[in-house]
Chains A and B, each alone.
Chain A
Amino acid sequence: MKRYAYYLSCINESMTREVDKSIELWQKDLGIELVKMHESTCCGGSNLDYVSPKHFALVNARNIAVAEKMGLDLVTSCNTCLLTLRSAKKKLDESEDLRNEVNELLGKEGLHYRGTSDVRHLLWVLIDDVGLGAIREKVKVPLKNFRIAPFYGCHILRPSTILGKDDPLEPSSLDQLIEALGGKTIPFEHKNRCCGFHTLLVAEEESLNVAAEALEEAITAKADFIVTPCPLCHTVLDGYQSKALKQTSLRQSIPVFHLSEMVGLALGYSEKQLGIKRHMVS
């Protein structure tokens, strides 16, 4: 059983609680254990870095230092947490002065940032550690009847200098996972585009335009559902779907699944067990 320090994302503890619920169901089936980091705090959600770069470094040095104390790599199931934590790690690893400054404060809690734990997305763990072959063997209900539109989201792809797992122009990891689970991916131009989440409360109309484009493509291509590895993308594409589609002439809707739910379905868990009924679009 390979163990990881599981970072608790704010959104997965509030609006998208089904993400962690579904991971808990199947993690051991795939030979992994995600140990919850109850000490972790909000990463700053792509905002704290410019509100106060020093607090941003402190907060995320602490988050990573908690994983280091556990002797495990940090794993998250949110794209923006992934980018934020990896950005902080890069800054900390490149600056001894910054490391020293935050470590002086972290000492109060018996923590110390060393840079020894990697920061990874759950999707990367499934592909690189569990392996597509092993996943294929565990599939109980292949997704063979489904045409699936993979929506990667920005912060698992760009900037590639900080992320670097997938080619941001032609990402393939989520496509590979879908195929391993027996599903069929559809060609999806919007797979590496933006969902508009980070401006939903600031420039709502623009964000809804952005989301509507992706939804329109998936619906027109007759996908059965969209899948995303990011709960923030899910919040826009599912939660704001009806509002976004009002900007188009389309009158259909399309379900949007979390990566963790899609894995759960293929491993034989029910929609009810996985929390899929909590989605705004059924």
Chain B
Amino acid sequence: MNCRKEPINEEHMTDSTIQHHEATRDVTFRVHRFNPQVDGKPYFDDYTIQVEKGITVLRSLNYIKEHVDASVSFRAFCQAGICGSCAMRINGISKLACTTQVWDELEKGREPGVIKVEPLRNLPLIKDLIVEMDPLVGKMKEYSNWVDSKMPENEWGRKEFLISEEEFLKYDKATDCILCASCVSECTILRANEEYVSPAVLLKSFRMNVDSRDSRHEERLAELVKDHGVWDCTHCYRCQEACVKHIPIVDAIHGIREDALAVRGVKDTSGAKHAEAFMEDIEKKGKLVEATLPIRTNGMLWTLRNLLPMAFKMILKRRTPPPPPLVKPSKGIGTFREMFREMTEHVKQDHKK
């Protein structure tokens, strides 16, 4: 905690420290507006209101709706960071309006005294700050994001399912998800292709797949490895960074991939083949053999069709990766291989356990 012994002199204060010590100030909320029934395209309305320190963005929006402009539309319910319904982009980042302090946002805005409020991305816009959640719900159905009990129906309510603490810890964090869709809004691949499964659905899928009570593990995994599924994540970590519950979403995505490789092997998807190539090369040379990586991932035909024109230009620029025999192994590769293979034995032992 910082303690000041001398009175704060405004002459020595920066703009941001002045903001911190003011009890109230005028703040402009630049709110995204769009009513599809009357507007040709979206626009922004500025609402300047006096805000006390300690007030959240959601309370400010509620004030605007009640006292300034009743037509401003947004979703909100619990006002306590639990229901996830008030997720929106505040100063460009997807988060919950009910847990976001106006004072914190004032320091982040591009324009002094202005907070920009926009709807989530990657979901269809309904009105102002409200987006359609149906596409997300649809994907949750497509990927069976629920536990389908292994227990015969006639035993329901008569018998308990006991879960060990060790098992619960595997999906403890994943169960914190409140489906606010902030991760969906920030997702790089979803922005490039709306058919992509989305981080929220991958997180839920992981959570269900590691649950020993569930009977759909194999079916769900078979769906997840298809096009627009788990292998399309580009590991940008935007979802994880934006998660309002600090859930390690990418760990869950990697958990599904690990599971898919263990259960299904590398036969059916280019993503799995691509990942496995790293393991092979490291064991053989200690180095990645980049020249053959496209062929091992997608086959010769795909490589010729997609990369041949670029390969010619790369040859002219002397930019092509060396062919496999010219990839120099790391120094000490002999002992390294021994260690690597011994670790393979450890892993086999772990699986037996």
A residues lining the B interface (CB < 8 Å): 10-11, 13-15, 38-42, 44-55, 58-59, 62, 101, 105-106, 108-109, 154-155, 158-160, 168-170, 193-194, 196-199, 201-207, 209-210, 239-240, 243, 277-280
Contact = CB atoms under 8 A, between A and B. Distances in A.
Interface in B261-301: 261, 270-271, 274-276, 278-279, 281-282, 286-288, 290-291, 293-294, 297-298
A52 B234 contact: no
Nearest to A167: B108
A15 B338 CA distance: 29
Interface in B231-253: 231-238, 240-241, 248, 250
Contact of B320 (A15, A45, A59, A155): A15
Contact of B250 (A159, A201, A203): A159
A278 B274 CA distance: 27
A29 to B, nearest CB: 26
Contact of A50 (B108, B191, B258, B270): B258
B279 A50 contact: no
Contact of B257 (A50, A109, A158): A50
Contacts of A38: 330-331
A168 to B, nearest CB: 6
A277 B321 CA distance: 17
Interface in B290-338: 290-291, 293-294, 297-298, 306, 310, 313-314, 317-322, 327-328, 330-332, 335-336, 338
Contacts of B297: 201-202
Given A40-B330, A105-B342, A201-B294, A280 B258 contact: no
A51 B275 contact: yes
B160 interface: no
Nearest to B227: A203
Q: Which 4 A-B pairs have the closest CB atoms?
A: A41-B286, A158-B237, A14-B321, A194-B236
Interface string B136-171: 000000000000000000000000000000000000
A278 B318 contact: yes
Most central of A39, A62, A206 by chain B CB within 10 Å: A206
A62 B291 CA distance: 25
B84 to A, nearest CB: 21
A59 B342 CA distance: 12
Contacts of A41: 282, 286-287, 330, 336
B255 interface: yes
B279 A15 contact: no
A193 B339 contact: no
A54 B298 contact: no
A161 B236 CA distance: 14
A203 to B, nearest CB: 4
Contacts of B233: 199
Given A105-B339, A202-B231, A243-B310, A159 B347 contact: no
A203 B232 contact: yes
A15 B317 CA distance: 10
Contacts of B343: 52, 54-55, 58, 105
B210 to A, nearest CB: 14
A90 to B, nearest CB: 12
A55 B319 contact: no
A213 B288 CA distance: 29
A55 B344 contact: yes
Interface residues of B, number: 70
B111 to A, nearest CB: 13
Contacts of A198: 234-236
Contacts of A155: 235, 237
Given A50-B258, A54-B350, A42 B192 contact: no
Nearest to A44: B278
Contact of B235 (A46, A48, A105, A106): A46
B290 A15 contact: yes
A222 to B, nearest CB: 20
A197 B344 CA distance: 29
Given A59-B340, A203-B231, 14 more contacts: A13-B287, A40-B286, A48-B278, A51-B279, A105-B339, A158-B237, A202-B232, A202-B297, A206-B193, A207-B234, A209-B192, A239-B319, A280-B314, A280-B319
Given A42-B287, A47-B278, A15 B321 contact: yes
Contact of B274 (A49, A201, A210): A201
A255 B128 CA distance: 39
A129 B319 CA distance: 32
A243 B313 CA distance: 12
Contacts of B261: 50-51
A203 B287 CA distance: 24
B237 A202 contact: no
- Give the most central of A45, A154, A170, A202: most B CB within 10 Å: A202
22 contacts: A14-B290, A14-B291, A14-B327, A15-B290, A39-B332, A41-B282, A48-B279, A52-B279, A53-B258, A54-B346, A109-B332, A154-B236, A154-B238, A158-B241, A193-B238, A194-B238, A201-B270, A206-B196, A207-B234, A210-B191, A239-B310, A239-B319
A140 to B, nearest CB: 27
B93 interface: yes
A10 B288 contact: yes
A254 B62 CA distance: 46
B174 interface: no
A38 to B, nearest CB: 4
Given A51-B279, A196-B188, A243-B310, A11 B234 contact: no
B338 A159 contact: no
A91 B17 CA distance: 39
Nearest to B278: A47
Contacts of B254: 49-50
Given A39-B330, A168-B241, A196-B188, A201 B298 contact: yes
